[in-house]
């Protein structure tokens, strides 16, 4: 294999050369959404991160040799509560929200996985897995519930690096009289007449959250597969519990070889929350006119293992950059992909490194290389290009050169302390939607797409 992928494995705490179990069938599972409402901006980050990894795996191993599974959790107490609030059926809500999710993720350029199982369609597999765990002494039934016995798995806590005592001290553990150990978690719970339920050996009930991913990953990818991904908020308890269930049920298998977790998202330097007024769904941003490609670009500008700060300024800069790149590549066939970009992406999905290389290609006016390389991370694709009306919104190269000449003239005026002239140049540019920003790196400019005179390039004398 000419390209050696290296991935940071949460399980081993180090970056490792990726060696799939079967190069002819590279398998990846990523935890998907609980579908009770619109996907918020933070939900989009793992989708975009693992979409890029999916593209890389397909590039290296071939599209027909990669199997990517991302689930939908469509049985959950939040969904039940939403149904009770609205008087709508659970299936109606989950069908609608699943559709919303797929539309919004397509808008940010995410390819659909090879399989997208809904938890409610795999309950028999979950029941079978629970029965297996009981038979092997790793789970027990009590008062209509089935619980996993945490003390039956010696390696519990290894993924997150926590001891069981620390977890009990730091977690909001549900205290219930039927639990043998406070950390034991629910595999199956009883349902009343108002809740969704399935018949089982323990009575009518529904699965706990964690068992669904173990069961669906086993059914669709096998006892051992290559990569399991998700946000680092899922590391404990969800992924820790998945490992415990699956490794106890199939002790001779590995479950997932590589565990990958993306860091969380902030908005304007603060944790996203409704109380701070900085909570956005993906649809909110799209409806406000932020293109999906811009959302994708901003997300990929930060390495997935670093906290990502969404700001309006980053979105503005991303839009300007993409408009210029689309103008440069309009009508151009993709050329040779940059080897440096592929090397960066193969080094633990370093998308920020790829974007730095895209800037370099744009700077040397390699339009064909820019288009081919951007496609590697899902940018400058035809599918994401509708937002950018090249004829109306993107200045010609001649116009850009005129603006740069004005910027140079303004800098000269400022150096000569002719501030009146400098202000006249700034105001003249602003009148046709060209906004200047002075910063430590010099003067940059961007287009104000709310200016009605934008596009009146003839006014730039």
Q: Point out which residues pair with 7 in neighbouring strands.
A: 16
Q: What pLDDT is stored for residue 8 in this prediction?
A: 98
Instruction: Please give the structure tokens belonging to residue 130.
Output: 């629970």
List strand residue ranges (DSSP E) for 312-453, in order: 434-439, 442-447
Spatial neighbors of 54 by CB under 8 A, at least 6 apart, are: 28, 66, 68, 111, 113
Helix (H, G, I), strand (E, B) or coil at 118: strand
So what's the pLDDT on residue 448? Answer: 75
Residue showing tokens 């149904």 = 83
pTM of the complete model: 0.85
Give the gyration radius of the chain's Cα atoms: 26
> What is the model's pLDDT at position 461?
63
Beta strands 270-271; 265-267: pairing state: antiparallel
The sign of the CA dihedral 285, 74, 58, 43 is: positive
Walk along the chain (461 residues) and give the pLDDT tens digit of each residue. 489 999 999 999 999 999 999 999 999 999 999 999 999 999 999 999 999 999 999 999 999 999 999 999 999 999 999 988 999 999 999 999 999 999 999 999 999 999 999 999 999 999 999 999 999 999 999 999 999 999 999 999 999 998 776 666 555 556 688 899 989 999 999 999 889 999 999 999 999 999 999 999 999 999 999 999 999 999 999 999 999 999 999 999 999 999 999 999 999 999 988 888 888 899 999 998 899 999 999 999 999 999 999 999 999 999 999 999 999 999 999 999 999 999 999 999 999 999 999 999 999 999 999 999 999 999 999 999 888 864 445 566 777 788 888 999 999 998 999 999 989 889 988 888 888 888 766 787 877 766 777 766 667 66
**Structural domain boundaries of the chain?**
6-265, 312-389, 395-459
CATH entry, 6-265, from 3.40.50.150, 1.10.260.40, 3.40.50.620, 1.20.140.10: 3.40.50.620
Matching CATH topology for 6-265 and 312-389?
A: no
The reported pLDDT for the residue numbered 285 is 93
Distances (CA, A) of 185 to 137, 138, 139, 160, 209: 15, 11, 9, 16, 10
Q: For helices 41-61 and 367-376, give the axis angle rounded to 10 degrees.
A: 110
Q: How many angstroms separate the CA atoms of 160 and 276, rounded?
A: 29
Q: Does domain 312-389 have CATH number 1.20.120?
A: yes
Yes or no: say if 368 and 332 are a contact pair by the CB < 8 Å rule: yes
């Amino acid at each position: 294999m000419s390209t050696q992928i290296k991935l940071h494995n949460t399980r081993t705490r180090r970056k490792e050369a990726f060696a799939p179990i079967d190069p002819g069938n590279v398998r990846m599972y990523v935890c998907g959404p609980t579908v009770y409402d619109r996907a918020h901006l933070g939900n989009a980050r793992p989708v975009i991160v693992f979409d890029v990894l999916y593209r890389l795996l397909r590039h290296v191993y071939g599209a027909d040799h990669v199997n990517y599974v991302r689930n939908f959790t469509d049985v959950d107490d939040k969904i039940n509560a939403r149904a009770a609030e609205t008087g709508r059926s659970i299936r109606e809500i989950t069908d609608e929200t699943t559709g919303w999710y797929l539309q919004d993720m397509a808008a940010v350029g995410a390819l659909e996985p090879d399989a997208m199982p809904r938890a409610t369609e795999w309950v028999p597999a979950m029941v079978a897995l629970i029965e297996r765990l009981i038979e092997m002494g790793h789970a027990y039934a009590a008062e209509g519930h089935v619980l996993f016995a945490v003390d039956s798995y010696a390696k519990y806590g290894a993924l997150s690096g926590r001891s069981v005592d620390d977890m009990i001290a730091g977690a909001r553990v549900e205290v219930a009289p039927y639990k043998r150990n406070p950390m034991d978690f629910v595999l199956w719970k009883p349902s009343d007449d108002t809740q969704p339920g399935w018949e089982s050996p323990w009575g009518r009930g529904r699965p706990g959250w964690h068992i669904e991913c173990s069961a669906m990953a086993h059914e669709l990818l096998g006892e051992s597969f290559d990569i399991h991904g998700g946000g680092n908020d899922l590391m404990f308890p969800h992924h820790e519990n998945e490992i415990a269930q699956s490794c106890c049920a199939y002790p001779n298998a590995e479950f997932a070889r590589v565990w990958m977790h993306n860091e969380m998202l902030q908005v304007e330097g603060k944790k996203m929350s409704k109380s701070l007024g900085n909570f956005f769904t993906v649809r909110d941003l799209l409806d406000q006119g932020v293109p999906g490609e811009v959302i994708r670009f901003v997300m990929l500008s930060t390495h997935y293992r670093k906290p990502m700060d969404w700001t309006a300024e980053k979105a503005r800069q991303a839009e300007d950059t993409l408009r210029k790149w689309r103008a440069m590549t309009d009508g151009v066939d993709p050329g040779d992909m940059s080897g440096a970009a592929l090397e960066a992406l193969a080094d633990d999905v370093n998308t920020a490194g790829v974007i730095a290389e895209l800037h370099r290609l744009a700077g040397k006016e390699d339009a064909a290389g820019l288009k081919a390389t951007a496609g590697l991370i899902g940018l400058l694709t035809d599918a994401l290009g509708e937002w950018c009306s090249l004829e109306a919104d993107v200045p010609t190269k001649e116009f850009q050169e005129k603006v740069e000449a004005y910027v140079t003239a303004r800098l000269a005026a400022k150096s000569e302390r002719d501030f009146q002239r400098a202000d006249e140049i700034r105001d003249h540019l602003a009148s046709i939607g060209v906004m200047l920003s002075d910063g430590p790196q010099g003067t940059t400019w961007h287009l104000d797409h709310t200016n009605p005179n934008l596009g009146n390039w003839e006014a730039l004398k």
